[in-house]
């Protein structure tokens, strides 16, 4: 029988009604009383580092969760994190970078309705997650939700109310769960060698900027003092507009000359970026050696930029070509199936 650590962080699954709306209220110990069938296949201990609506979760909490798993890693066969759905994909991606090469499963789950309601998805999701975390084939960071296991870097919340809230973007589901059975579509645990690797640094000074028609580059001028990197969510396969009183070209030069990171991504959910298709993308990519996210999700792109910057700073790399080179190598290294269309 497997030993699993349940890490409760709040979210809808543990929420109750208040005068101001739903808020986390249900104690971590009380979650398990709704899924007593888990006792057939695992033993569970519980820890609750915080209790928050996931809107309030950010990099500090990701580091705390990774540290908690690292401290207890040798004592458990798997980990299940109960989490709110709104930022769950960001947390799953961040943990994929902070905890790498894990032969043990780290599962993130939650629900669209509280666990104590008569009709809810919470009980199924929690029981599925405990079952997945107890399976010998499971490993690494995955979201288990709505009957699917999704790689932590490939998940995106695409529905705000439906039970099938999450989709796997540009990559197959890892597994399907139904009626107490797990069918693996991606069964690659044998490829892992060596111990799990834990990282302890993220750079939070990363901005995600979504382009809109008519926007000019002056927005980057105002943001320049406050951020070390910007991920630009461009149109289509990627590019930057040439209009405006302050051209984007001018501001990209300011950022890159200062050793800051400019990462291009796309607003289009599926199939990824390819800046070399159109002039508006190719010219600026070639002139500034800009990086792009290709088929990665925005959640994975943002958190991987935070992680790669954090590692470059942790080894004392000053801004410049050496730091940019290290960042590029780290970012373009595939982690937990996050990047398929690019090769160095």
- Give the tens place of pLDDT for each residue, 292-337: 999 999 999 999 999 999 999 887 666 666 678 889 999 999 999 9
Q: Does residue 45 sit in the same domain as residue 190?
A: yes
Q: Does residue 99 sit in the same domain as residue 218?
A: no
Residue 159 inside a domain? The answer is: yes
Residue ending a domain, among 169, 198, 227, is: 198
CA distances to 87, 121, 146 from 163, rounded to whole Å, are: 16, 6, 6
Q: Does residue 65 sit in the same domain as residue 188?
A: yes
CA distance 282 to 278: 6
As for how many domains the chain has, the answer is 2
Catalytic residue among 9, 12, 87, 91, which? 12
Residue 321 inside a domain? The answer is: yes
The confidence score (pLDDT) of residue 343 equals 45
- Residue 208: DSSP 8-state: E
CA distance 336 to 344: 17
The confidence score (pLDDT) of residue 247 equals 84
The alpha carbon of residue 211 and the mean position of all alpha carbons in its chain are separated, in whole angstroms, by 22
Lowest mean pLDDT segment, chosen from 161-175, 218-232, 310-324: 310-324
Q: Which domain holds residue 315?
A: 206-331
The CATH number linked to 135 is 3.40.50.1170
Residue 226 inside a domain? The answer is: yes
CB-CB contact of 304 with 292 (8 Å):
no
Q: Does residue 38 sit in the same domain as residue 162?
A: yes
Q: Does residue 240 sit in the same domain as residue 286?
A: yes
CA distance 300 to 293: 9
Q: Does residue 103 sit in the same domain as residue 171?
A: yes
Each residue's pLDDT tens digit, 80-115 = 999 999 999 999 999 999 999 999 999 999 999 999
CB-CB contact of 284 with 213 (8 Å):
no
Each residue's pLDDT tens digit, 10-53 = 999 999 888 888 888 888 889 999 999 999 999 999 999 999 99
Residue 343 inside a domain? The answer is: no
Residue ending a domain, among 198, 226, 260, is: 198
Q: Does residue 148 sit in the same domain as residue 253?
A: no
The overall average pLDDT reported for the chain is 94
Residue 252 inside a domain? The answer is: yes
Residue 192 inside a domain? The answer is: yes
Annotated catalytic residue 12? yes
The CATH number linked to 288 is 3.40.50.40
CA distance 128 to 125: 5
Residue 278 inside a domain? The answer is: yes
Q: Does residue 84 sit in the same domain as residue 157?
A: yes
Residue ending a domain, among 198, 217, 245, is: 198
CA distance 270 to 293: 12
Q: Which of 211, 251, 250, 248 is nearest to 231 (CA)?
A: 211
Q: What is the spatial order of strands in the sheet that 291-292 belongs to?
A: 206-210, 229-234, 261-266, 291-292
Q: Does residue 255 sit in the same domain as residue 213?
A: yes
């Amino acid at each position: 029988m497997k030993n699993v650590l349940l890490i409760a962080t709040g979210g809808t699954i543990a929420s109750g009604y208040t005068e101001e709306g739903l808020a986390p209220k249900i104690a971590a110990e009380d979650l398990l009383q709704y899924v007593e069938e888990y006792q057939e296949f695992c033993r569970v201990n519980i820890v609750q580092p915080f209790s928050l609506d996931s809107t309030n979760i950010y990099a500090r909490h990701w580091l705390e969760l990774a540290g908690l798993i690292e401290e207890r890693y040798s004592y458990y066969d798997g980990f299940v994190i109960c989490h709110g759905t709104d930022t769950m994909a960001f947390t799953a991606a961040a943990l994929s970078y902070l905890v790498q090469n894990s032969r043990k499963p780290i599962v993130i789950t939650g629900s669209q309705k509280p666990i104590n309601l008569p009709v809810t998805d919470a009980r199924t999701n929690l029981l599925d997650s405990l079952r997945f975390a107890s399976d010998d084939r499971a490993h690494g960071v995955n979201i288990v939700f709505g009957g699917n296991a999704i790689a932590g870097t490939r998940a995106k919340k695409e529905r705000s109310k439906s039970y099938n809230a999450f989709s796997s973007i540009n990559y197959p589901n890892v597994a399907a769960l139904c009626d107490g059975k797990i069918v693996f579509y991606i069964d690659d645990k044998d490829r892992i060698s060596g111990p799990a690797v834990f990282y302890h640094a993220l750079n939070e000074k990363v901005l995600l900027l979504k382009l809109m028609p008519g926007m000019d580059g002056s927005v980057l001028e105002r943001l320049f003092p406050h951020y070390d990197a910007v991920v630009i969510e461009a149109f289509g396969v990627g590019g930057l507009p040439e209009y405006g009183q302050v051209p984007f070209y001018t501001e990209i030069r300011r950022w890159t000359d200062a050793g800051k990171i400019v990462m291009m991504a796309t607003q289009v959910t599926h199939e990824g970026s390819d800046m070399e298709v159109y002039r508006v993308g190719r010219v600026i990519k070639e002139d500034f050696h800009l990086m792009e996210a290709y088929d990665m999700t925005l959640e994975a792109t943002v958190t991987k930029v935070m992680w790669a910057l954090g590692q470059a700073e942790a080894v004392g790399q000053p801004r410049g070509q050496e730091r940019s080179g290290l960042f590029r190598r780290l970012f373009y290294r595939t982690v937990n199936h996050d990047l398929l269309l690019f090769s160095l």
